[in-house]
Amino acid sequence: MGRITLEGVAKRFGETEVIPPLNLDIEDGEFVVFVGPSGCGKSTLLRLIAGLEDVSDGRILIDGVDATPLSPAKRGLAMVFQSYALYPHMSVRKNIAFPMRMAGLDEAEQKRRIDNAAKALNLTDYLDRRPGQLSGGQRQRVAIGRAIVREPSAFLFDEPLSNLDAALRVGMRLEISELHNRLKTTMIYVTHDQVEAMTMADKIVVLHAGRIEQVGSPLELYRNPRNVFVAGFIGSPKMNLFTGDAAREYGAETIGVRPEHISVSPDSGKWKGRIGVSEHLGSDTFFYVEDTGLAEAVTVRADGEVALRHGDTIWMTPAEDKIHRFDANGDRMAP
Amino acid sequence: MGRITLEGVAKRFGETEVIPPLNLDIEDGEFVVFVGPSGCGKSTLLRLIAGLEDVSDGRILIDGVDATPLSPAKRGLAMVFQSYALYPHMSVRKNIAFPMRMAGLDEAEQKRRIDNAAKALNLTDYLDRRPGQLSGGQRQRVAIGRAIVREPSAFLFDEPLSNLDAALRVGMRLEISELHNRLKTTMIYVTHDQVEAMTMADKIVVLHAGRIEQVGSPLELYRNPRNVFVAGFIGSPKMNLFTGDAAREYGAETIGVRPEHISVSPDSGKWKGRIGVSEHLGSDTFFYVEDTGLAEAVTVRADGEVALRHGDTIWMTPAEDKIHRFDANGDRMAP
Amino acid sequence: MARAITPRRKAIMTVIAWTIGLLIFFPIFWTVLTSFKTEAEAVATPPRFLFFDWTLENYAAVQERSNYFRHFWNSVVISFGSTLIGLIIAIPAAWAMAFVPGKRTKDVLMWMLSTKMLPPVGVLVPLYLLFRNTGLLDTRSGLIIILTLINLPIIIWMLYTYFREIPGEILEAARMDGATLKSEILYVLTPMAVPGIASTLLLNVILSWNEAFWTLNLTAANAAPLTAFIASYSSPEGLFYAKLSAASTMAIAPILILGWFSQKQLVRGLTFGAVK
Amino acid sequence: QDSVTLTIATVNNGDMIRMQSLSDEFTAQHPGIKLEWVTLEENVLRQRVTTDVATSGASHDAQYDVVTVGTYEVPIWAGQGWLVPLNDLPAEYDVDDLLPAIRNGLTIDGELFAAPFYGESSMVMYRKDLMEKAGLEMPDAPSWDLIKQAAAAMTDKDNEVYGICLRGKAGWGENVAFLSAMANSYGARWFDENWTPQFDSEPWRNTLTDYLDLVTNYGPPGAASNGFNENLALFQQGKCGMWIDATVAASFVTNPDESTVADQVGFALAPDNGLGKRGNWLWAWTLGIPAGSQHVDAAKQFVAWATSKEYTALIAENEGWANVPPGTRKSLYDNPEYQKVPFAKMTLESIMAADPINPTVDPVPYTGVQFVAIPEFQGIGTLVGQQFSAALAGQVSAEQALQNAQQLTTREMTRAGYFK
Amino acid sequence: MATKASKTAARLMISPAVILLLMWMIVPLAMTVYFSLLRYNLLMPGMESWAGLENYRYFFSDPAFTSALVNTLLLVGGVLLVSVTGGVLMALLLDQPFWGQGFVRLLVLAPFFVMPTVSALVWKNMFMNPVNGIFAWLFKTLGMQPVDFLTEAPLMSIIGIVSWQWLPFASLILLTAMQSLDSEQLEAAEMDGAPTLKRFWFIILPHLSRAITVVILIETIFLLSVFAEILVTTNGGPGTATTNLTFLVYVQSLLQFDVGLGSAGGVVAIILANIVAIFLMRMIGKNLDA
Ligand SMILES: Nc1ncnc2c1ncn2[C@@H]1O[C@H](COP(=O)(O)OP(=O)(O)OP(=O)(O)O)[C@@H](O)[C@H]1O
Ligand SMILES: Nc1ncnc2c1ncn2[C@@H]1O[C@H](COP(=O)(O)OP(=O)(O)OP(=O)(O)O)[C@@H](O)[C@H]1O
Ligand SMILES: [Mg+2]
Ligand SMILES: [Mg+2]
């Protein structure tokens, strides 16, 4: 079981309110991602849930029980830290055994769980190494192993992949998703990388300066961002946002079009521009188009290989039904 | 001018041969990217060219002149390091001026070049700050500025973006490409990120265990990878590689199909499978398909949103003309 | 651990920490206090804490007996001189060990440290003869030479551990930028290591300042530092606690004040690579 | 004329420090001479000066031009030719005025090698008020039995009054000095005529047993680390009933500025056991000139000045008669002014009562009362002193301490080649 | 970094230090070894003669030798024990939040700046003196018999004095080390259910091990040659209760001016110091690389 409910939870460090009172419901078995720019309070929120920080206001319920006064160890949650926080002087085996040793589990049970976790995480060959002798991805797995053996009611992850390189990050991302599919335990995952959020989450919580901007499934956020902030934050490459004449034409203060919703042509279209940089990935081509007459440069994505290069003139047409409109407050306007 | 030629260059550390003798030609003005997995010798090769390591064998010619016995400073190359390697105790201005100070350039000329570089790199406002007061991207620019003012015959970059976060990395990637477009100076760029290699390079050099696997333009490598290693390394997500029956059907030991060259359907197709993890990015959807009857899990990319989820059954059909065939040595077979 | 610290807990910690801190400091405090008492009050039972006639007579008596400022100046010259020369020798050595390490580097370092274990009493007579024959006895330069040698291993070690934290890439960047070895060390390494060099300097000045064996045995009048000054108080006749305290205060005050003012710096460097 | 700078090594006692502050008189008289003072604690001084003198020998590169040496070193150093003879002192110096007991110890083969700055013996200092309270009277020449009796009577530990304070700190100049002198009065000796150590003899056993008895029962706590200074401080605070120690202490314990019991101090000769020797010693701090000095003439002028009658008068004028360096000149004790000083008479008598040439009841091959004037004595004395202090601290028994002392001494003497 | 040019440069740059230290080691050492083979007493010049190993035989048969050896080890070990455990506790304390942290740090640091002679004088006369010392007064105020520290527990007293001087050093290194501990590790342990004491034992202490080794190494170097404190307080006594090797050599070479014997003692002390050194280096080498 792992239903976590925040009721009016707020956090102040001295005078500064880092998290204004907020409510949030996390269902049992959900994979929830907290996403937002650096410093927006994601880690703080996670640490409040973990019990590593005291709430300034409000209550945290775990499975309906008020956990606010409980110590971190008593909440039955497990956390995987950004820096892995492995114990450098203990072998992998000892690291994984540590929480069970603290709980006083008997040796046989410890061994059984360690073996299971090691098998599940492909760590069997490394059990006797020290963390210092492992690669980044392996360390990450040890940290997860240490969390798993406790059989927690929920896992908390604080940017667990940010210390890994790009290729490894993709692999680990899949592993964590698979783990969730298998264990079906609640997971709360913090990241500032919106790709991670989109690919992993059942439910994304977009945070901005401590406030919740939007809560929803990845596609909900992709399709109907509630405001300019979410629109700009979700999606890669970023949504193109235009103000001025281009927006006024649609009766809005700001309009947004995703790069993949603009079609290009060498000879005709709605907007004209000159290609600044073109990136040919084989599978896709990205153009960064300048001198468009619009205030901002435009990012465009074309499928496959398109034979246009730096300096070429290009015509672009947005898909009309994929245009997002926002009012002066940055809020989404009804279609 | 910046033509660099390696003739039989090899490097041994003690007994272990890190780079077996290799030949390579880099034309003036080219943007060459060395790419390869970690530990394959990319940095070593770059440092050999820079003169920071002695070659064990062979010669390095710069503009036709044997540079092998020259000290790093004498080779007329500039290097941008992964950690930026800025002088933390000097202001940005002093950092940029340092190479000119060492060369004994007169003050007026120094000033002129610093101002030019600062303008080009948007650093004018930060000239009097210390590196510690700059953001990652700004530091990166200072490092580039320091390289530019020397007016080198070639720039060497060693994973210059790997310390930046994802969003910044995209921005800096564009800036470096633009810089190359403007200066037209030879650039040698090391990365292990194949996306960077694909988007920036005129010519990619794929290294594997110190050996050159293939040299060519990004699209050449994408379209005609010379062997399994290059096929698996270039392209994101990775090309699917199948052995066994699936390959024998095409008369090859191994066949490869890129995820973007497989079309999916909920009810019919060539291969059938069950979706393990699905990643819905809005713009694209990635499926990691299991239980296909093939030996390996299959990665598939579909444009836009496709309403299939974890556990669903899926049918996949490869585009026949996009299938790559490899022989038992892993080398490409003629079509 | 950033959970709310209750004011109560903080108050308790404050009391404990201050008590222990004051206890540790008490001997020094008491010495300073006693130096302002008359001899009779200095031995009074029960001890007088603050209510006594403050007097400077002990300082006057001490100054009359020996020229404090000359000893003080000798101490300054000797401790700073030896440390600075030590630094000049040690910086290149530490550069070599930190940035061009070989198989032997660690052994060399450990060997250097082991020279510090040479018991001075065992070699006093040979060195005394050596100093006499070279005219170094009772000269500041003689002491500077000895103390440089004594402190060199520690200086090298501290710098080495400090330099190791400096990424080699920066020095390589300088090399690419056309810096010679000299300018590399002078313009890049040394300024970057200023905090480390400063704490090395401080620690070794303190060690030299307090070095009592060689400074006492190899000097007479001209080069005698404060250690010799205090040696004349280790058992004068009659009641002497107050005078002893005054002399002690004068001997330790300069280095104590220097140490206090620069303690951040000192503490930061005092890790000998023990902290990564 | 070029001015010369004399480097003078002195011990850090009150008289020497007084000399330092009055040395302007000397430099005023001798404008060509500058003085440079090195004041050190006794042990350090001895070590520094000995190293310097011994390594420089007669070559002209000694660091010190005038050194303060004790009566122990003078004969040894003079024998090595390390000191400049002082035969040619000016007539007004009046060598013959020096007390013979002191002068003899500084004269080797008829040549004077050092000029005495002050001389001392040891005597009993006691508290008249406490003696009265105890109903006892202190004769001028007490016996050890009386001392024991008085110590017992005066002890009042609850009020921190201890019957007797004696040296207990290890060191050949500390507890060994006292115990050797005491042993002399018990009829003991360090060596017999063949240099065989005598610690296994009955008289030594009695000496040590009595000493331990006195100090442990009637002495202050911590006696095993008390030396001259510690006891002085105790006596000045009124915590000692009796104190047997150097005569120079008299001026400190009678000085009302420093002593709380200044007007209650009485003096008596050191005790005896009726065997013809009293338990007092003889010591003098003297000024000598190392053979290696480069300024022998100037140094002689200084030495002559510092030990002259003129200097005595200068002190008397500036600091009062009680602070004059005592124990070196007959003329001082003939001076009616000085005779008014309470301890003058007893000091002189104590000095006269010491005989460094025949210090013991039984004959011995050495000179020196509380020391043996051989180079090895410093080391042996230190080792033996450690044993005595160990006994006092209760670490070993008296018997064991003496046995150890015997062994250690035999060992050292063997090494030094006294028994072929 | 590893070009031939830089390797040559490195050799050149390290050589002044190496040559100087070699000279510093070899010249006095050679002289000492030479003197140790002579019958040579400063007070009896002109009688130097070849003595072979006699000085060594004599030194080793000195009844004080064994106790000096034991005392040296006890002194070093005792001070290490006190200063390291004390240092760990101090570091824990100073790491806590409380008012006036900076000031308390200054207080704790202060003894490190005090000359050994001064500290010994102050402790001996103003604290441990059984009549006039502060401790005596305290004991009396509490109605107890004052303890005569330097007589009844001489070695312990000296260990105390020396520990007082070295406690700041240990505290500060350990404090710095403690502060370098990644707070996420402690949080992880907390999440894992380890209470305070177990966190200390399983996480903090192992983290400090490297710093502790360094403290041990540095302190040992200085503690092997503790001298002034002994000279000033007990003169090696009572008996030989506080005579360490350094003091023994001092007694022999500087009190008796027996250069031959003193040199033999010096050579022995050097050898012993190096045995300790090798032992320590082993331990350090292992711990420093980790
Ligand atoms: N202990 C603290 N005291 C004061 N302010 C703090 C403290 N911890 C965090 N903050 C502030 O709270 C805000 C949120 O911090 P938090 O670490 O939660 O951000 P984040 O979203 O995790 O950022 P990142 O993506 O960089 O990790 C920041 O502005 C930070 O400066
Ligand atoms: N100084 C050295 N001594 C011994 N081996 C070395 C040295 N430097 C590098 N190597 C080895 O040479 C190989 C190539 O290293 P290099 O740093 O060039 O790899 P890379 O391709 O840059 O890897 P990365 O992407 O991780 O930076 C590695 O196996 C490495 O262990
Ligand atoms: Mg965070
Ligand atoms: Mg690399």
Ligand 2, atom 14, residue with closest C-alpha: B41
Tell me if A158 is assigned to some domain.
Answer: yes
D227–C235 C-beta distance less than 8 A: yes
The predicted pLDDT at position D293 comes to 86
Tell me if E284 is assigned to some domain.
Answer: yes
> What is the average pLDDT score of chain A?
89
Q: Each residue of A242-251: b (16+ CB within 10 Å) or e?
A: beeebbeebe
Name the residue type at position D282. L
Does residue E150 contact residue E234 with C-beta atoms inside 8 Å? yes
Query: A225 with A241, same domain?
Result: no
First-residue to last-residue Cα distance in chain B: 40
Give the CB-side neighbour count of residue A11, counting CA atoms within 13 A: 28
pLDDT tens readout for residues E101-158: 888 988 998 999 898 888 888 888 888 877 778 888 888 888 877 777 888 888 999 9
Tell me if A266 is assigned to some domain.
Answer: yes
Tell me if A334 is assigned to some domain.
Answer: no
Ligand 2, atom 2, residue with closest C-alpha: B13
Q: Decide whether any atom of ligand 1 lies within 6 Å of the A192 Cβ.
A: yes
Give the CB-side neighbour count of residue B67, counting CA atoms within 13 A: 26
Sign of the alpha-carbon dihedral angle for D47, D53, D54, D60:
positive
Instruction: Using alpha carbons, select from A252, A253, A219, A254 the residue that is nearest to residue A240.
Output: A254
Tell me if A295 is assigned to some domain.
Answer: yes
Q: Which residue has the higher pLDDT, A90 or C123?
A: A90
Q: Decide whether any atom of ligand 1 lies within 6 Å of the A38 Cβ.
A: yes
Residues of C with Cβ-Cβ distance to D36 under 8 angstroms: 221-222
Query: B258 with B193, same domain?
Result: no
Going from the Cα of B13 to the center of ligand 2, the distance in angstroms, rounded, reads 10
| pLDDT above 90 (res E39) | no
Query: B218 with B310, same domain?
Result: no
Q: What range defines the domain where residue E180 resides?
A: 54-289
Residues of A with Cβ-Cβ distance to E198 under 8 angstroms: 102
Q: Which residue has the higher pLDDT, A163 or E190?
A: E190
Please state, for a pLDDT cut of 70, what percent of chain A lies above it.
100
Boundary of a domain, candidates A229, A250, A274: A229
Instruction: Using alpha carbons, select from D99, D114, D219, D128 the residue that is nearest to residue D169.
Output: D219
The predicted pLDDT at position A297 comes to 83
Q: Which of E45, E136, E255 has its CB closest to that of D54?
A: E45
For B184, other C-beta atoms within 10 Å of its C-beta total 13
Name the residue type at position D19. M
Torsion angle defined by CA atoms of residues D139, D145, D148 and D149, in that order, rounded to the nearest 10 degrees: -70
Q: What is the mean pLDDT of each run of 10 residues along chain B (335 residues)?
A: 91 90 94 91 93 92 92 90 89 93 91 91 90 87 90 92 78 88 93 88 93 93 93 88 87 91 89 87 87 81 84 90 91 86
Tell me if B197 is assigned to some domain.
Answer: yes
Does residue B329 contact residue B229 with C-beta atoms inside 8 Å? no
| pLDDT above 70 (res E290) | no
CA distances (Å), D330 to each of C30, D307, D314, D343, D349, in order? 46, 13, 17, 15, 12
Residues of B with Cβ-Cβ distance to A218 under 8 angstroms: 280-282
User: Any bridge partners for residue B265, and if so which?
Assistant: B315
C-alpha of C228 from chain center = 16
Does residue A202 contact residue A31 with C-beta atoms inside 8 Å? yes
Tell me if A331 is assigned to some domain.
Answer: no
Ligand 2, atom 5, residue with closest C-alpha: B13
Residues of B with Cβ-Cβ distance to C180 under 8 angstroms: 102
The ligand 1 atom nearest the CA atom of A47: 18
Q: Which of A81, A88, A89 has its CB closest to that of E184?
A: A81
Confidence band, pLDDT 50/70/90 cuts, at residue D342: confident
Ligand 2, atom 26, residue with closest C-alpha: B38
The ligand 1 atom nearest the CA atom of A44: 18
The predicted pLDDT at position C4 comes to 59
Q: From the CB coordinates, do chains A and B have 3 or more pairs under 8 Å?
A: yes
Give the best-scoring range by mean pLDDT among A7-11, B265-269, C214-218, D410-414: A7-11
| Number of Cβ pairs < 8 A linking chain A and chain B | 99
Query: A285 with A266, same domain?
Result: yes
Q: Each residue of D282-305: b (16+ CB within 10 Å) or e?
A: bbbbbbbbbbbbebeebbbbbbbb
Q: Decide whether any atom of ligand 1 lies within 6 Å of the A75 Cβ.
A: no
Boundary of a domain, candidates A184, A208, A229: A229
Does residue B10 contact residue B21 with C-beta atoms inside 8 Å? yes
Q: Does A102 touch chain E (CB under 8 A)?
A: yes
First-residue to last-residue Cα distance in chain C: 21
Query: B159 with B224, same domain?
Result: yes
| pLDDT above 50 (res D225) | yes
The predicted pLDDT at position A262 comes to 92
Chains with 3 or more CB pairs under 8 A to chain A: B, C, E
Contact residues, chain B to chain A, C-beta under 8 Å: 38, 162, 165-166, 170, 174, 177-178, 181, 192-193, 195, 198-200, 218-219, 222-223, 234-237, 258-260, 276-277, 279-284, 286, 288, 301, 303-305, 310
The predicted pLDDT at position C234 comes to 63
E5–B51 C-beta distance less than 8 A: no
The predicted pLDDT at position C237 comes to 56
Give chain B's domain count: 2
Q: Decide whether any atom of ligand 1 lies within 6 Å of the A46 Cβ.
A: no
> Which residues touch D133 (CB under 8 Å, ≥6 apart)?
D154
Phi, psi of C12 (to 5 degrees): -65, -45
What ipTM does this complex have? 0.84
Q: What is the CATH number for B248?
A: 2.40.50.140
Average pLDDT over residues A314-323: 91
Please state, for a pLDDT cut of 90, what percent of chain E lies above it.
15
The predicted pLDDT at position B39 comes to 86
pLDDT tens readout for residues E72-86: 999 999 999 999 999
Ligand 2, atom 7, residue with closest C-alpha: B13
Distance from CA of A21 to the nearest CA of E (A): 25
Give the CB-side neighbour count of residue B198, counting CA atoms within 13 A: 24
- Distance separating alpha carbons of residues A156 and D87, to the nearest angstrom: 98
Ligand 1 mutation pick, A40, A47, A189, max ligand atoms within 8 A of CB:
A40
Confidence band, pLDDT 50/70/90 cuts, at residue D335: confident
Q: What is the CATH number for E162?
A: 1.10.3720.10
Tell me if E10 is assigned to some domain.
Answer: no
Q: Decide whether any atom of ligand 1 lies within 6 Å of the A42 Cβ.
A: yes
Average pLDDT over residues E55-59: 86
Chains with 3 or more CB pairs under 8 A to chain D: C, E
- Match 């010096």 to its residue by tokens: E266
What residues are neighbours of ligand 4 (ion), with CB under 5 Å? B 43
Residues of A with Cβ-Cβ distance to B284 under 8 angstroms: 260
Q: From the CB coordinates, do chains B and E have 3 or more pairs under 8 Å?
A: yes
Query: A254 with A224, same domain?
Result: no
The predicted pLDDT at position C274 comes to 67
Boundary of a domain, candidates B229, B245, B266: B229
Give the CB-side neighbour count of residue E232, counting CA atoms within 13 A: 29
User: Any bridge partners for residue B284, and if so which?
Assistant: B303
pLDDT tens readout for residues D21-79: 888 888 888 888 888 888 887 878 888 888 888 877 666 677 889 999 989 988 888 88
Q: Decide whether any atom of ligand 2 lies within 6 Å of the B15 Cβ.
A: no
Q: Decide whether any atom of ligand 2 lies within 6 Å of the B13 Cβ.
A: yes
Tell me if A115 is assigned to some domain.
Answer: yes
Q: Decide whether any atom of ligand 2 lies within 6 Å of the B19 Cβ.
A: no
The three-state secondary structure class of C198 is helix
Query: A266 with A219, same domain?
Result: no
Query: B195 with B59, same domain?
Result: yes
D415–E151 C-beta distance less than 8 A: no
Query: A201 with A277, same domain?
Result: no
pLDDT tens readout for residues C51-92: 777 888 888 888 877 778 888 999 999 999 999 999 999 999
- Distance separating alpha carbons of residues D197 and E92, to the nearest angstrom: 58
Going from the Cα of A93 to the center of ligand 2, the distance in angstroms, rounded, reads 30
| pLDDT above 50 (res C1) | no
Query: B85 with B41, same domain?
Result: yes
Give chain E's domain count: 1
Please state, for a pLDDT cut of 70, what percent of chain D lies above it.
98
Tell me if B188 is assigned to some domain.
Answer: yes
pTM: 0.85
Average pLDDT over residues E246-266: 82
The predicted pLDDT at position C275 comes to 66
Does residue D374 contact residue D398 with C-beta atoms inside 8 Å? no
Instruction: Using alpha carbons, select from A101, A201, A204 the residue that is nearest to residue A146.
Output: A101
Q: What range defines the domain where residue A175 resides?
A: 4-229
- Distance separating alpha carbons of residues B154 and B174, to the nearest angstrom: 19
> What is the average pLDDT score of chain C?
84
Ligand 2 mutation pick, B11, B43, B52, max ligand atoms within 8 A of CB:
B43
Report the relative pairing of strands B65-66 and B77-80 from DSSP bridges. Answer: unpaired
Instruction: Dig out the tokens for A114 from the structure.
Output: 């360690």
User: What is the set of domains in chain C, with CATH numbers?
Assistant: 66-232 (1.10.3720.10)
Confidence band, pLDDT 50/70/90 cuts, at residue E182: confident
pLDDT tens readout for residues A247-292: 888 889 999 999 999 999 888 888 888 988 888 888 888 898 988 8
Phi-psi map region of B210: left, alpha, beta (phi>0 left; psi -120 to 50 alpha): left
Query: B265 with B244, same domain?
Result: yes
User: Any bridge partners for residue D125, and if so which?
Assistant: D243, D267
Going from the Cα of A45 to the center of ligand 1, the distance in angstroms, rounded, reads 9
Ligand 1, atom 2, residue with closest C-alpha: A13
| pLDDT above 60 (res C236) | no
Query: B213 with B111, same domain?
Result: yes
- Distance separating alpha carbons of residues B10 and B113, to the nearest angstrom: 37
The predicted pLDDT at position C2 comes to 47
The ligand 2 atom nearest the CA atom of B36: 21
Ligand 2 mutation pick, B9, B11, B18, max ligand atoms within 8 A of CB:
B18
Q: What is the CATH number for A216?
A: 3.40.50.300
Q: Does D80 touch chain E (CB under 8 A)?
A: yes
Residues of E with Cβ-Cβ distance to A50 under 8 angstroms: 187, 191
> What is the average pLDDT score of chain D?
87
Does residue D325 contact residue D117 with C-beta atoms inside 8 Å? yes
- Scan residues 25-54 of C and list those with Cβ closer than 8 Å to E: 25, 27-28, 30-31, 34, 43, 45-47
Ligand nearest to the CA of A209: 1
Phi, psi of E114 (to 5 degrees): -85, 130
